[in-house]
Homo-oligomer: A and B are copies of this chain.
Amino acid sequence: MILTVTLNTALDITYRVRSLQPHSSHRVSDVAERPGGKGVNVARVLAALGHEVTVTGFAGGATGEVVRDRLSAVPGLTDALVPVAGATRRTIAVADELTGDTTQLNEPGPGIEPAEWGAFLDRYEELVAGASAVALCGSLPPGVPVGAYAGLVRTARSAEVPVLLDTSGEPLRRGVAARPDVIKPNADELAELTGSHEPLRATQDARRRGARAVVASLGAAGLLAVTPEGRWRAAPPAAVRGNPTGAGDSAVAGLLSGLLEQLPWPDRLARAVALSAATVRSATAGEFDRTAYEELLGRVAVSGEFSAA
């Protein structure tokens, strides 16, 4: 079982409008809802790839009930979310029909009480004991200590379970110091962590800060991986058009899936890049297009990286 942790789960809502005009009124022509938060997205892709996956984190209120209800319908996915008094946040993506562009509104999420955080830590420790890998994903809700991920990384390492961390800012800085097996920052997160905007230099620096392997996602340029086994770049065959929502989460799912199958790094990276590109191409935000994934998988270019930088 792969365990994914989403401390700030969400009900992701997508609205279609003709064209968003500030300070006016809009009729929404179409409403779509699905469970969200980075670790939930990772879990859905893993389940679609045929893995057994367990989701933990927090859920509460009417929005939390909708999230749990929808998760219960996903084959291969087990809901181990911890109930909280506050309501799970909503995110609203407003998609313009005219331009295809999207405007995002993200609620902050419920405050987590100390007793709720304690209940989560107990649950997490139990779940890690039965996991073959752990992914720690996304932002921290109010009330969760900023060093939370560092503690969760240490618990996984004590249990000898490989742990991937995908977050940003101070929670990433502190989490890296606890020596996770993999981190997957994007270019901005990497620059914020290291102070360097040069991807290879920044990726190497992130390793020195504690991450065993660093897989940097560089948007259309694909992935740059610096690992104890070597360095690689993996890129999709051509620029992929579409909606990048969830592309990073699909890359995380590809890395975990490849890790569990003990694939060599180049194959793990190819899988991550193909899943990510197939997510951008999908008509539904955050879902991957399986046909595109299978077609892209053999066409991802993976090359060794030998720069002296």
Task: List the 6 shortest-distance A-B pairs measured between CB atoms, nearest first.
Answer: A25-B104, A23-B101, A62-B62, A20-B22, A62-B66, A28-B107
Q: Is A127 part of the binding interface, using a Cβ–Cβ cutoff of 8 Å?
A: no
A33 and B123 CA atoms in complex are apart in Å by: 31
A17 and B26 CA atoms in complex are apart in Å by: 18
User: Please, which residues of chain B bring their CB within 8 A of the CB of A28?
Assistant: 105-108
Instruction: Output the least CB separation between A86 and chain B (Å).
Output: 11
> Do residues B22 and A104 form an inter-chain contact, with CB atoms below 8 A?
no
**Could you list some 30 contacts between A and B, CB below 8 A?**
A15-B105, A20-B22, A20-B23, A20-B103, A21-B103, A22-B22, A22-B101, A23-B96, A23-B99, A23-B101, A23-B102, A23-B103, A24-B103, A24-B104, A25-B103, A25-B104, A25-B106, A26-B103, A26-B105, A26-B106, A27-B106, A27-B108, A28-B106, A29-B108, A31-B108, A62-B62, A62-B63, A92-B92, A92-B105, A94-B105
A22 and B23 CA atoms in complex are apart in Å by: 11
Interface size on A, residues (CB 8 A): 29
Q: Is A65 part of the binding interface, using a Cβ–Cβ cutoff of 8 Å?
A: yes
Residue of B nearest to A15 (CB): B105
Binding site for B on A (CB under 8 A): 15, 17, 20-29, 31, 62-63, 65-66, 92, 94, 96, 99, 101-108
A92 and B107 CA atoms in complex are apart in Å by: 12
This chain: how many copies in the complex? Answer: 2
Residue of B nearest to A92 (CB): B92
A102 and B185 CA atoms in complex are apart in Å by: 35
User: Please, which residues of chain B bring their CB within 8 A of the CB of A27?
Assistant: 106, 108
User: Please, which residues of chain B bring their CB within 8 A of the CB of A62?
Assistant: 62-63, 65-66
User: Please, which residues of chain B bring their CB within 8 A of the CB of A101?
Assistant: 22-23
A158 and B282 CA atoms in complex are apart in Å by: 56
User: Please, which residues of chain B bring their CB within 8 A of the CB of A103?
Assistant: 20-26
Residue of B nearest to A104 (CB): B25
User: Please, which residues of chain B bring their CB within 8 A of the CB of A106?
Assistant: 25-28
User: Please, which residues of chain B bring their CB within 8 A of the CB of A25?
Assistant: 103-104, 106
A284 and B103 CA atoms in complex are apart in Å by: 26
Most buried by B among A17, A26, A28, A65: A28
A22 and B96 CA atoms in complex are apart in Å by: 9
User: Please, which residues of chain B bring their CB within 8 A of the CB of A26?
Assistant: 103-106
User: Please, which residues of chain B bring their CB within 8 A of the CB of A24?
Assistant: 103-104
Instruction: Output the least CB separation between A29 and chain B (Å).
Output: 7
Most buried by B among A103, A107, A108: A103
